[in-house]
Structure formats: structure tokens, C-alpha cells
């Protein structure tokens, strides 16, 4: 058995060096974190004097052209679940006062695949990157799994490295698509109505958040319209029947409660050339859909 003396001075030297190396680094990162936290907590959304606000996911992002409105803004983001739309609307209403709100509402909007967006690696990181300034993850029901490790990593990455002046990545815009290829209908329906190869049902949590959005619009005296943008006939016919029934029942219940719904999701009257892919319209399709929506709203007296 050997015995030997411990070289304390050498160890002390290392620790001092390490501490002196880490202090400036920690100070730098902490300063950025504090600055950015303060910045995004107090950042107001400046959309200007708008009348119409368009919220939803990529379907409405490509389908409703705000430039055909008098004074509208499209803030849709791809892959946005209604939970996020609610947080976003709340944030926007703190500083902007639109008259009307249009919310994307298609069969996949109420699919419970949306609940996995906060835990599945495919979506979580991207969604956290966009929503960290407006999120209220702790308030979501325990039934929704949330990958908090991934969230805090994203939060750190977005805020620790340099001071940012703008954090509003949760605000999207209208995207003009010019090409047309509808061949991905099977891939898309599998993504929207199946999770890990199992058929998913409707998401009660999403419906609860839809209720919250309706309440919020009532509270701020806003006219809310749910919009179902056209889906390619192959996509639409590939939606599982049980899900389609759920969707129609939900729609009927909402209409009974007085919610205005314009549903063009059975896009059989839209030719292939109007689609960007099986569930998104291209620019030509968007112009036609927007015009149709405007005509309907005018006929209903909701729009001048």
C-alpha cells in the first residue's frame, strides 16, 4: 500500500484559475439573460392600427391574404397549436385593438397530435424557440407532456449569448407560395391524425383553449370567425371518418353557441393548381379563398 502527500497547492491553483475563468463567463451570460428576460417581458407587440387580425397555423398563413383586406395583419405561424394561439392573442391584445379576429380551424386543429408538440423532439425545440416570450407552460394541464429540459435549453440558447432587441418570433406573416404539388396528402394526413402509427382522437385541451379564445374575444368585444381553409380532395377523403365526425360535431356545437364558422375545408371546388401542397393553398388559391371569405363576411354584415 502506498501513501503519498496530496499536492494541495497545485489543486488550489487550478481551482482559482477555474473560478477566475468562470466568473466573467457567468457574469456575461447572466447579464444577457437578465437583459433579455426584462426585454421580452415588457416587449409590446406593435402591429399598428389594425382592424383585422389573422391567427392560426400554416394553413391560414398561406390561405388568407391580408393585403386584400383594408387593414389586416396575418400573424400565423407554421405548426401553431391553439394553446399557443391563445397566448399569442392575449399578448397582442395588451397593445393592439383589432375589431375582428380570424382563427384557423380545420379538422387537424382539434387533433390531439397537437398535444405532442411540447414533448416530441420533431416539434418541441422549434415551438419553444418561438413561444418562450409568451408561454405559460405551467398552466397547461398535466395531461400534456412537456419536455422542460428542452424548453430550458432553448430558453438559455435564445437569451444567454447576446442582448436581443426583438424577441417576437411568435409572430408570423402571410407567405406567398407559387408552386403546386399535391402529392403529399398521405404523409400529411398521417402526420395530422396519427401519432406513432396510432389513430389519435380530438384534443379536449385544445377545445378548452378554443373556449378561452372565444371568452377572450368576448371580453375584448371582438368579432371572432373560425376559418377552415380548403384542403385538397385527396387529403380530405383520407381523414379518418371517425375524426371527421368528431370535427363536424364540434363545429355544430360551436355554431349553436353563436360562433361564426366559415368552413371550406372540403376543398373539392378548388383545382390542383390552386394548392401549394395537399393542405396549403398557393398564392392564386389564397386570393380566391380570401375573396370568397370577404364576400361571405360582407353578406353576413360582419364586414363593410
Partner 1 sequence: MLFNSLDFAIFLPIVFFLYWFVMQNNLRYQNALIVLSSYIFYGWWDWRFLFLIIFSSCLDYFIGNRLKTESQQSKRKILLWFSIITNLGFLGFFKYYNFFLENFIDAFTLFGLQINTNSLNIILPVGISFYTFQTLSYTIDVYKHKLEPTEDFLAFSAFVCFFPQLVAGPIERATNLLPQFYRKRIFEYNKAIDGMRQILWGLFKKVVIADNCAEFANQIFNNSADMNGSTLFLGAVFFSFQIYGDFSGYSDIAIGVSRFFGFDLKQNFATPYFSRDIAEFWRRWHISLSSWFRDYLYIPLGGSRGGMWMKVRNTFAIFLVSGFWHGANWTFVIWGGLNALYFLPLLLSRNNRNNIGVVAEGKFLPSFGELISMLKTFTLTVFAWIFFRAENLEHAFSYIGAIFSPSLFSIPEFTGMRDALLTIGLIVLFLVFEWHGRTYKFGLNFISNFKSPVRYGLYYFLVILIMWFSDKQHEFIYFQF
Rounded (5°) CA angle 224-260-127:
50
Cβ-contact 206, 115 below 8 angstroms: yes
Instruction: Work out the angle at residue 261's Cα, subtended by the Cα atoms of residues 256 and 267, and round it to the nearest 5 degrees.
Output: 130
Closest to 276 measured CA to CA, from 173, 191, 174, 176: 176
- C-alpha cell, 249: 360535431
Q: Decide if 118 contacts 124 (C-beta within 8 A).
A: yes
Residue 249 burial (10 A CB sphere; 0-12, 13-18, 19+): exposed
The nearest distance, CB 27 to partner 1, in angstroms, is 12
**C-alpha pair distances (Å), 210 with each of 86, 116, 275:** 8, 17, 27
Question: Which of 1/142 has CB closer to partner 1?
Answer: 1
Determine which residue in the list 3, 46, 138, 165 makes contact with partner 1, applying CB under 8 A: 3
Among 19, 21, 27, 215, binds partner 1 (CB under 8 A): 21
Find the Cα–Cα–Cα–Cα dihedral 35, 40, 42, 44, rounded to 10°.
Answer: 140
Candidates 5-13, 164-172, 208-216, 257-265; binding stretch for partner 1 (CB under 8 A):
5-13
Q: What character string, x for contact with partner 1 (CB under 8 A) and - otherwise, covers 88-127? A: -------------------------------------x--
Determine, following the binding rule CB under 8 A, whether residue 161 of this chain makes contact with partner 1. yes
E strand intervals along 219-289: 223-228, 260-263, 275-277, 280-281
Least Å distance, CB 7 to partner 1, is 5
State yes or no: residue 7 binds partner 1 (CB under 8 A). Answer: yes
User: Is 139 a residue that touches partner 1 (CB under 8 A)?
Assistant: no
Of 127 and 200, nearer to partner 1 (C-beta) is: 127
Of 9-17, 75-83, 93-101, 139-147, the window that binds partner 1 (rule: CB under 8 A) is: 9-17
Using the minimum distance from each CB to partner 1, give the nearer residue, 67 or 161. Answer: 161
Interface segment toward partner 1; rule CB under 8 A; list 88-96, 146-154, 185-193, 260-268: 146-154
The number of residues making up the chain comes to 304
User: Does residue 294 bind partner 1 (CB under 8 A)?
Assistant: no
What residue ranges bind partner 1 (CB under 8 A)? 1-4, 6-7, 10-11, 13-14, 17, 21, 24-25, 125, 150, 153-154, 156-157, 160-161
Amino acid at each position: 500500500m502506498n501513501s503519498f502527500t496530496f499536492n494541495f497547492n497545485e489543486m488550489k491553483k487550478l481551482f482559482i484559475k477555474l473560478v477566475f475563468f468562470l466568473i466573467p463567463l457567468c457574469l456575461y451570460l447572466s447579464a444577457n439573460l437578465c437583459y433579455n428576460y426584462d426585454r421580452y417581458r415588457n416587449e409590446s407587440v406593435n402591429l399598428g392600427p389594425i382592424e383585422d387580425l389573422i391567427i392560426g397555423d400554416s394553413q391560414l398563413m398561406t390561405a388568407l391574404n391580408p393585403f386584400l383586406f383594408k387593414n389586416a395583419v396575418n400573424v400565423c405561424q407554421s405548426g401553431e397549436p391553439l394553446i399557443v394561439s391563445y397566448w399569442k392573442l392575449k399578448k397582442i391584445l395588451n397593445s393592439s385593438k383589432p375589431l375582428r379576429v380570424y382563427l384557423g380551424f380545420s379538422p387537424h386543429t382539434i387533433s390531439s397530435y397537437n398535444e405532442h408538440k411540447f414533448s416530441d423532439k420533431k416539434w418541441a425545440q422549434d415551438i419553444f424557440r418561438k413561444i418562450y416570450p409568451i408561454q405559460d407552460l405551467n398552466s397547461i394541464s398535466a395531461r400534456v407532456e412537456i419536455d422542460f429540459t428542452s424548453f430550458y435549453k432553448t430558453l438559455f440558447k435564445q437569451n444567454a449569448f447576446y442582448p436581443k432587441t426583438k424577441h417576437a418570433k411568435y409572430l408570423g406573416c402571410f407567405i406567398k407560395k407559387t408552386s403546386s404539388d399535391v402529392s403529399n396528402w398521405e404523409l400529411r394526413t398521417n402526420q395530422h391524425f396519427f401519432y406513432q402509427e396510432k389513430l389519435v382522437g380530438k384534443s379536449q385541451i385544445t377545445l378548452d383553449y378554443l373556449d378561452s379564445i372565444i371568452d377572450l374575444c368576448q371580453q375584448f368585444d371582438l368579432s371572432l370567425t373560425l376559418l377552415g381553409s380548403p384542403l385538397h380532395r385527396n387529403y380530405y377523403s383520407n381523414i379518418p371518418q371517425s375524426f371527421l365526425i368528431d370535427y363536424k360535431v364540434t363545429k355544430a356545437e360551436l355554431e349553436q353557441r353563436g360562433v361564426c364558422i366559415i368552413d371550406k375545408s372540403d376543398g373539392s371546388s378548388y383545382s390542383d393548381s390552386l394548392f401549394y401542397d395537399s393542405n396549403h393553398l398557393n398564392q392564386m388559391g389564397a386570393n380566391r379563398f380570401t375573396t370568397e371569405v370577404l364576400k361571405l363576411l360582407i353578406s353576413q354584415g360582419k364586414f363593410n
